[in-house]
Amino acid sequence: MLKMHEKSRKSADKAVAFFSSHIDENGYYPAVASDLSCYYKSPMMFIYSGCNELANRILDSIRLKFMTDSGDFELSPIIKSAKQNILNIGIIQMDG
């Protein structure tokens, strides 16, 4: 019988495989994932799982799709996210 940590690891591996299979070569999820809230946790998930290249690809896509000239992240000049609960996620630091 599998121990709890083994079950957790297998579950985490399945989640990483699922999400990575839905990201295109430019670091984007399908068109239905058009809000920043669909992206903001993914880079850390991939970094923790050892998929740094994929995490960097997603960070690049976030920068290109959501970052404004002022360095803020938003969908439009008046809307930060369709899901307002992510407004306090903190600062994401990226190397340009």
Q: Which residues of the chain have pLDDT under 50?
A: 86-96
CB atoms < 10 A from the CB of 88, how many? 6
Looking up tokens 């297998």, which residue turns up? Answer: 10
DSSP designation for 40:
T
Q: Given this model, what pLDDT does residue 91 score?
A: 45
Residue 16 to residue 76: CA distance in whole angstroms:
30
What residue ranges do the domains of the chain occupy?
A: 10-86
Cα 2 to Cα 12, 17, 67: the distances in Å are: 15, 20, 44
Distance, CA of 57 to chain centre: 10
Terminal Cα distance for the chain, rounded: 47
pLDDT at 86: 47
| Residue 32 pLDDT | 78
Dist. CA 72–CA 79, nearest whole Å: 11
* pLDDT for the residue numbered 54: 94
- State residue 72 phi and psi, 5-degree precision: -85, 165
